[in-house]
Copies of this chain bind each other. A is one copy, B any other.
Amino acid sequence: MGTATPPPAQAQQTIEVAEPIESQKRPVKLTGKPELIREFLARFDVFLFDCDGVLWQGDKLLPKVVETLDVLRNRGKQIVFVTNNSTKSREDYKKKLAKLGIQAEIDEIFGSAYSAAIYISRVLCLPPTERVYILGEAGIEAELRSENITFLGGTDPADSGPMTPSDYETFGPDPTVTVVLCGLDRNICYKKLARAYQFLQNPNCRFLATNIDSTFPTHGKLFPGAGSMSAPLTYMLGGRQPVSLGKPSQAMMAAIEGKFRFDKSRTCMVGDRLNTDITFGIEGGLGGTLAVLTGVNKEDDFLKEGAEVVPDAYLEMLGDLAY
């Protein structure tokens, strides 16, 4: 048995580092391997970043995130922050980033509320006579406004509170309301669900969602996500699913591409969730995907036998790039 003993781990690692990244088995662990990191970064001009679980956890910035973004910017890489959070507009998000110490331009931010606005104005080309019913918060309203889209619902106080007898009489389809857009709405109520459902009785009314994440992670726990706002409507509509404008939907990729016109083969998606971020990058045909272990998924989720979604490379944490 003595002769079959494998070489010590240290020796193995040295050999790995010497080999070019392409010849290594996916996923390649980059943490602590400067040569591989340099080689990996050189393959891309654009980095799409998921935020929560990658840049921060809850309200805490993760170590060396600012340094890492500086390294990328100094090497001329374009950075885009891509988030499914629909409660914040790009303006709100810029403030949130700044509060955490990350300087960002509005144009570097791409949220699912903005994605939905772009889709409605530039893909659906909604005529000015038609309106969007919002089941969602102020972030969606701000982004629809930025694309000059007329809307109703949302944070309108008339849509909160209990149903009145006249609501039961007057709620119904409206030929001018041709889109129902659902996002995370922490003021969801029966009246909004009832109204959205009535609008969707119009066969010409589209059913959209900023994203369909079932849960919303905060305070170290899971709370209802945007997909749980559209779920009652899907159930009432006999299983009809909304078109999602968030990761991993390629409708979001199309919206990002429409705006930035980047070379996909030289773009890398960075994220913590295999079934949203990494899937988004793989299905979008990006040049690469990079997972970090500071969020939802752990190493074993993609190293295990039969793992369905495997990134090209991974890091213990994003800050490991700024070695």
Q: Is A218 an interface residue (CB 8 A)?
A: yes
The 3 lowest CB-CB distance pairs between A and B, nearest first, are A228-B232, A231-B235, A168-B219
B224 touches A232 (CB 8 A): yes
B228 touches A236 (CB 8 A): yes
Q: Is A97 an interface residue (CB 8 A)?
A: no
Chain B minimum-CB-distance residue to A215: B236
Q: Is the interface of A mostly helix, strand, loop or mixed?
A: mixed
Chain B minimum-CB-distance residue to A197: B224
Copies in the complex: 2
29 A–B contacts, CB within 8 A, in A order:
A163-B186, A168-B219, A168-B223, A169-B219, A185-B190, A186-B190, A187-B189, A187-B190, A188-B188, A188-B189, A188-B190, A188-B193, A190-B223, A193-B228, A194-B223, A197-B222, A214-B235, A214-B236, A214-B238, A215-B236, A224-B232, A227-B235, A228-B232, A228-B233, A228-B235, A229-B232, A231-B232, A231-B235, A232-B232
Q: Is A234 an interface residue (CB 8 A)?
A: yes
Contact of A234 among B168, B215, B231, B238 (CB under 8 A): B231
Given contacts A186-B162, A189-B188, A231-B231, A194 and B224 within 8 Å (CB-CB): yes
| Alpha-carbon separation in the docked complex, A194 to B193 (Å) | 17
Q: Is A304 an interface residue (CB 8 A)?
A: no
Which residues of chain A from 223 to 257 have a CB within 8 Å of any chain B CB?
223-225, 227-229, 231-236, 238
| Alpha-carbon separation in the docked complex, A86 to B301 (Å) | 43
Q: Is A221 an interface residue (CB 8 A)?
A: yes
Question: Nearest Cβ distance between residue A130 and chain B, in whole angstroms?
Answer: 23
Which residues of chain A from 158 to 217 have a CB within 8 Å of any chain B CB?
162-163, 168-169, 171-172, 185-190, 193-194, 197-198, 214-215
Extra inter-chain contacts (5) besides given A163-B186, A190-B223, A215-B236, CB under 8 Å:
A162-B187, A193-B228, A194-B224, A225-B236, A231-B232
Residues of A within 8 A of B (CB): 162-163, 168-169, 171-172, 185-190, 193-194, 197-198, 214-215, 218-219, 221-225, 227-229, 231-236, 238
